[in-house]
């Protein structure tokens, strides 16, 4: 399948699986929007991708914030006309025993892994 010039938004692109996925997609000719909170990492990755002949745009984003998600999606659509693919990867996985009752961690997981994922999806695929 030819995926060159598709436009992908990768959330959680500042490290780990998201950064690796963004690199791989860019190497295949996909235009990548790099979304996460750590701007310095996104800028470094965008520079790396562009240096390798790819196309990338850094989009400082907090997926738990609707306005921030909307801004990222809007910026990518304004720059490249559309979003074809969402890699809805931003997330956390703090591990703790249920009896430790770390409700703040649980709430953060819900905010990022559930609310953040659904907001990103909604904003990327609105028509
Ligand atoms: N690695 C594994 O073995 C494994 C196993 C099962 C599931 N997963 C899931 O796969 C995904 C990626 O895992 P990983 O190992 O690559 O983790 P990681 O290196 O910790 O990356 C997590 C990414 O999510 C971003 N993120 C966190 N909170 C965010 C927020 N509020 N807004 C925007 N971005 C946010 C982080 O960027 P910033 O901090 O810059 O915002 C980072 O880029 C996660 O959803 C994880 O739960 C991983």
| pLDDT tens-place string over residues 101-120 | 999 999 999 999 999 999 98
In the reported structure, the alpha carbon of residue 26 is separated from the centroid of ligand 1 by a whole-number distance in angstroms of 19
How many whole angstroms separate alpha carbon 45 and alpha carbon 54? 11
Q: Is the CB of 114 under 6 A from ligand 1?
A: no
pLDDT computed for residue 29 by the predictor: 98
For position 17, which CATH number holds?
A: 3.40.50.720
Is 1 contained in some domain? no
Does the CB atom of residue 61 touch ligand 1 within 6 A? yes
Give the N- to C-terminal CA distance of the chain in Å, as an integer: 25
Per-residue pLDDT of 50-71, as tens digits, reads: 999 999 999 999 999 999 999 9
For residue 95, tell me if it sits in a domain: yes
Q: Name residues whose C-beta falls within 8 Å of residue 40's C-beta, 6 or more positions apart in sequence.
A: none
Q: Three-state DSSP class for 95?
A: coil
Rounded Cα distance, 38 and 66, in Å? 17
Neighbouring C-beta atoms of residue 120, cutoff 10 Å = 26
Predicted model pTM: 0.96
pLDDT > 80? residue 127:
no
Interval between CA 88 and ligand 1 midpoint (Å): 10
Closest atom of ligand 1 to CA, residue 20? 16
**Torsion angle of C-alpha atoms 23, 13, 116, 30, degrees rounded to 10:** -30
Return the bridge partners of 32, or none. Answer: 8, 56
> What's the pLDDT at 54?
98
29 Cβ closer than 6 Å to some ligand 1 atom:
no
Residue 61 structural domain: 7-124
Mean pLDDT of 64-81: 95
The token pair at 94 is 């703090």
User: pLDDT by residue (tens digit) across 18-42?
Assistant: 999 999 999 999 999 999 999 999 9
Number of domains observed in the structure of the chain = 1
Range in 17-21, 69-73, 92-96 the model is least confident about? 92-96
On whether residue 107 sits in a domain, the answer given is yes
Q: Is residue 2 part of a domain?
A: no
Residue 88 falls inside a structural domain: yes
Query: How does 52-66 read in b/e, with b if 16+ C-beta sit within 10 Å?
Result: eebbbbbbbbbbbee
Measured from the CA of 38, which atom of ligand 1 is nearest? Answer: 40
């Amino acid at each position: 399948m030819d995926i060159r010039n598709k436009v992908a938004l990768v959330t959680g692109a500042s490290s780990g699986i998201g950064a690796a996925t963004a690199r791989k997609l860019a190497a295949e000719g996909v235009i990548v929007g790099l979304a996460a909170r750590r701007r310095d990492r996104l800028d470094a990755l965008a520079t790396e991708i562009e240096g390798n002949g790819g196309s990338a745009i850094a989009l400082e984003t907090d997926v738990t914030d609707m306005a921030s998600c909307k801004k990222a999606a809007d910026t990518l659509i304004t720059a490249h006309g559309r979003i074809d693919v969402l890699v809805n990867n931003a997330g956390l996985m703090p591990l703790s025993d249920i009896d430790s009752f770390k409700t703040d961690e649980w709430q953060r997981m819900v905010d990022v892994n559930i609310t953040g994922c659904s907001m990103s999806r909604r904003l990327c695929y609105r028509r």
